[in-house]
Structure 1
Amino acid sequence: MYGDRLPGEPIRVRAGEVVRARLTNRLPQETTVHWHGLALRNDADGVPGVTQPPIPPGGEMVYEFTASHPGTYWFHPHHGTQLDRGLYAPIIVEDPAEPYDYDDEWTVVLDDWLDGVTGTPDEVLAEITSMSGGGGHGGGHGHEGMSMPDSTASPGASWPHMMMNAESDLLGGDAGDVYYPHFLVNGRTATAPQTFAANPGARLRIRIINAGGDTAFRVALAGHAMTVTHADGFPVVPVETDALLLGMGERYDVLVTLKDGVFPLAALAEGKRAVARALVRTAPGARAPKADVWPAELDGRLASYDRLTPADAVRLPARAPDRTIKLMLTGSMARYDWAINGRKYDPEVIEPVKSGERVRLSFVNRTLMWHPMHLHGHTFALGASGLRKDTAIVLPGATVNADFDADNPGIWMIHCHNIYHGAAGMMTLLGYRA
């Protein structure tokens, strides 16, 4: 954890201010910090062996960069499976020209947790990468009724960390690889939830971050509709929705006008039949619903990518791409050979771009798994809608085109934000030609 807190202490700055953060490494292994979603100077990006040497145990490093664009971001290590041990925290860049009025603000960080309960993330990675042809997942079924059965891992002691029955239509089938005993909102389990207190009628801004390792979350606030205002830090044309789906690394900001009572903010671990939750309380004496209640809003309107469009101020101007980089997402659960273009991560392989180009990343998913793909140092425009994001879900068999302007020189990583897929090899680099 950062500073013995889960999540770590948020950093708050105003757009245009300089962030100066000193990391002291008290871990028994090397580490770095990646500032997820921020278009910062390349040498502050936190990718070991690419933008900086790793910070050794007992070492320190000062990260210094300008927070150029307002929005909801977060930071985490970029070293092995460390993210799945609770090393993450929000970084909120406030907008000096904030267009929305609201009475209160709440940052919600979602996570899946196993460390110290069923094993360690390193043990998970060792287990799932040791499979040779015997992996695969069994079938699963959707929920029934208003309460959910417990998730189950694979039977027997041979594969204690494998999730064998996680299925989701929203994610195109297989929802995840790893069995987690707990799902968290702001570091708390569903049976000991955090409570956010407010007044009835208050207008609340909720900043939602998925810091999970292997879990997408479907999020809803019981009894309320939410108005989506931002995706991955960038403003959208406001859209009312009942629920949001967040892949690992994604963020959404919403506005909600609160009713009178106590309401669960439910984060369904998509396809894993378990719910994380927190509570919003506007009536001191009201009784909270049971921890396993499934709010109807989870099955309501979903703010999918095709329902969201960028605000005019951040829409990428129309322009044909000067360069298209085809990124084939390859591999299988059976072999756990996740890769890009059939090749595991090799820091010597760098896709070239030139400053000033409009670059199209064409993610072509040839696997049976979904992948949340993240580009460092830039925000791209998705498909026809132009939705601005830095992390996007690519479903099995799908192609997602993501355009960006090459305006931030350096060597930048592109990778799957399922940390186990990334650690197994689904990462690559792009670099600016001098």
Structure 2
Amino acid sequence: MSRRGFLALGAGATAAVGLAACSSGGNSSSGAKIGPTSPLVAQAEQARRAGNANVQSVTLDAVLSEVDLGGVQVKTWTFGDSLPGREIRVKRGEVLHALLTNRLPQPTSIHWHGLALRNDMDGVPDVTQAAVAPEGNFTYEFAVPDAGTYWFHPHVGVQLDRGLYAPLIVEDPEAGANYDSELVIVLDDWLDGTGTDPDAVLDNLRKNGMVMGGATDSAMPEMGHGAMPGMTGVGKSNVLGGDAGDVSYPYMLANGRIASAPTSFEGRAGQRIRLRLINAGGDTAFRVGVPGVAMHVTHTDGFPVVAPGGVDSVLLGMGERIDAIITVPEQGVPVLAIPEGKEAPYAQVLLHSGASRAGTANDAAVAQLKMSGIATVADFTAAPGVTLPDKKPDVTHDLTLAGPGEKYDWTINGRPFDPQSGLPIQQGQRVRLRFVNDSDMFHPMHLHGHTFQVRGANGKGPRKDTVIVLPRETVEVDFDANNPGQWLTHCHNIYHGEAGMMTVVSYVE
């Protein structure tokens, strides 16, 4: 079976015989919803929280900022005047106590991406909490159950496509034997403060739809294709199965910096580095690799995997994370992140090797990485310790992904997002979600509050919370309903999600 066939059941494939239930998305159950204030949510949190758990307290101020991308000054919104925001690092089993103060002109929130936390702390306005008003505050407090690479960002409008994001690293006290140091890299596509902003981009998409082409702008030399920031028609990718995105960006960032002024990491030859890669982009998938250095993938979205030997590069969709171990070579090298299928600048972090200082990547290195082999979700299998036990699903929900409509409408099961309607499930069930992509665009589909297992050729794909669904193909994922509440599932292309491609996985009694 081909790698694509491993996941692609075909958009027209027939559902397997014998499924316990199949729903097109409406709440057909008569049971009452288990909301974020339900005692069952508090009970689930109590079961996760040890009585003597250490509490880590942090403060997060969402503020208007002017940041330097590396010789490019932009006005944007950040957590605490830094881009990315300051990393939060906790240990598995600890309790995170985070006070958010909103200094922005709009309401905001924080979603803790990838964590199986308590439902009332998930940060989704109209689903789990009210948005935090300007000059207001909100305290998030929850037990952190699983080690891994995570991150946090708002869940209000298209605020994610500004600078409001930061890594959240949950350490495993038993890990570290197979590497010497860590390098966290947060990738992003950037247009805020460059003559437009994410709200204006979304307004333009809704007004004009998918307009191809655009005027040139000599003030944006790094764009490569000369389009004004935010214009559509940005290229295609065989890896992504078609269109590479809806929005053009003048800059690509790695840890808040453009490629001509990158951050760097002081390594030494032979040192084993654990790369923690996070795609915080709004509309861009990245191909990430280290020229001439093999990457040994160890985790997808925080959970351990069995992977092939060293790979040249990995595909990272919006919202996804990959952990990989590399060995520092004798000569310094860049860690490259190339926007997959887009005529846009790459991003990089320089990995020095003692006295051998890495230089910025040249065109040959970028071209080599573009032509190299690339590992995708089809190449990974969940490690035995995190593989879900074999079990037929108790309920199956189809989610048909479609768009864009005339007014840039993106839908699930023919409907725009309605926070009061969703996909009913019950505590204790094995749930199967079938993401059926009926569009010509890839969609990184994210489920809140759970980590699912992607069903591959043998049903044993990797554990993840975000998975790319290629155009005209279907991806099935399974999870155990063990975290009661109302949980969003949506496309992590921020413009698709905000234009309607979201629904609720709804626990009912």
TM-score, normalised to structure 1, is: 0.93
- Check conservation: 1:152, 1:163, Cα contact below 8 A: no
Change (3 A) 1:203 1:370: same
Q: 2:311 matched to which residue of 1?
A: 241
Structure 1 position 348 matched with structure 2 position 420: yes
Report which structure shows greater RCO (CA 8 Å, sep ≥6). 2
Helix, strand or coil for the counterpart of 1:255?
A: strand
Q: CA separation in 2, counterparts of 1:50 and 1:110? A: 28
Find the partner of 2:143 among 60, 66, 88. Answer: 66
Task: Give 1:60's aligned amino acid.
Answer: N
Please state how far the C-alpha of 1:335 moved relative to its aligned partner: 3.9
Q: 2:49 matched to which residue of 1?
A: none
State how 1:194-233 maps to structure 2 within 5 Å. Answer: 194-233=263-302
Alignment coverage as a number of residue pairs: 418
- Check conservation: 2:187, 2:279, Cα contact below 8 A: yes
Q: 1:281 matched to which residue of 2?
A: 352
Q: 1:180 matched to which residue of 2?
A: 249
Change (3 A) 1:290 1:343: same
Q: CA separation in 1, counterparts of 2:242 and 2:450? A: 30
Task: Give 2:506's aligned amino acid.
Answer: G
Change (3 A) 1:223 1:334: farther
Find the partner of 2:327 among 257, 270, 275. Answer: 257
Q: CA separation in 2, counterparts of 1:106 and 1:97? A: 19
Q: CA separation in 1, counterparts of 2:463 and 2:361? A: 37
State how 1:77-226 maps to structure 2 within 5 Å. Answer: 77-98=154-175, 100-131=177-208, 135=210, 137=212, 150-153=224-227, 161-226=230-295
Find the partner of 1:337 among 389, 409, 420. Answer: 409
Please state how far the C-alpha of 1:69 moved relative to its aligned partner: 0.4
Structure 1 position 407 matched with structure 2 position 482: yes
Please state how far the C-alpha of 1:398 moved relative to its aligned partner: 0.5
Q: CA separation in 2, counterparts of 1:149 and 1:214? A: 15
Q: CA separation in 2, counterparts of 1:381 and 1:136? A: 37
Please state how far the C-alpha of 1:182 moved relative to its aligned partner: 0.4
Q: CA separation in 1, counterparts of 2:492 and 2:361? A: 32
- Check conservation: 2:446, 2:465, Cα contact below 8 A: yes
Please state how far the C-alpha of 1:373 moved relative to its aligned partner: 0.3
- How high is the sequence identity, in percent, across the aligned residues? 53
Please state how far the C-alpha of 1:119 moved relative to its aligned partner: 0.6
Task: Give 2:351's aligned amino acid.
Answer: V
* Unmatched segments (≥5 aa) in structure 2: 1-77, 214-221
Q: CA separation in 2, counterparts of 1:329 and 1:285? A: 49
Find the partner of 1:372 among 434, 444, 454. Answer: 444
Helix, strand or coil for the counterpart of 1:125?
A: helix
Q: 1:386 matched to which residue of 2?
A: 461
Between 303-312 and 93-102, report the one with greater CA deviation. Answer: 93-102
Task: Give 1:309's aligned amino acid.
Answer: T
Alpha-carbon displacement from aligned partner over 1:191-211 (angstroms, at most 9, x marks no partner): 001111111110100100000
- Check conservation: 1:46, 1:52, Cα contact below 8 A: yes
Q: 2:473 matched to which residue of 1?
A: 398
RMSD between aligned residues = 1.6
Helix, strand or coil for the counterpart of 1:313?
A: helix
Bigger-Rg structure (1/2): 2
Helix, strand or coil for the counterpart of 1:50?
A: coil
Q: 1:145 matched to which residue of 2?
A: none
Structure 1 position 322 matched with structure 2 position 394: yes
Find the partner of 2:496 among 409, 415, 421. Answer: 421
Q: CA separation in 2, counterparts of 1:149 and 1:130? A: 24
Please state how far the C-alpha of 1:149 moved relative to its aligned partner: 8.6
Change (3 A) 1:295 1:202: farther
Between 291-300 and 38-47, report the one with greater CA deviation. Answer: 291-300
Please state how far the C-alpha of 1:150 moved relative to its aligned partner: 1.2
* Unmatched segments (≥5 aa) in structure 1: 139-147, 155-159
TM-score, normalised to structure 2, is: 0.80
State how 1:287-302 maps to structure 2 within 5 Å. Answer: 288-290=359-361, 292=363, 293-294=365-366, 296-302=368-374
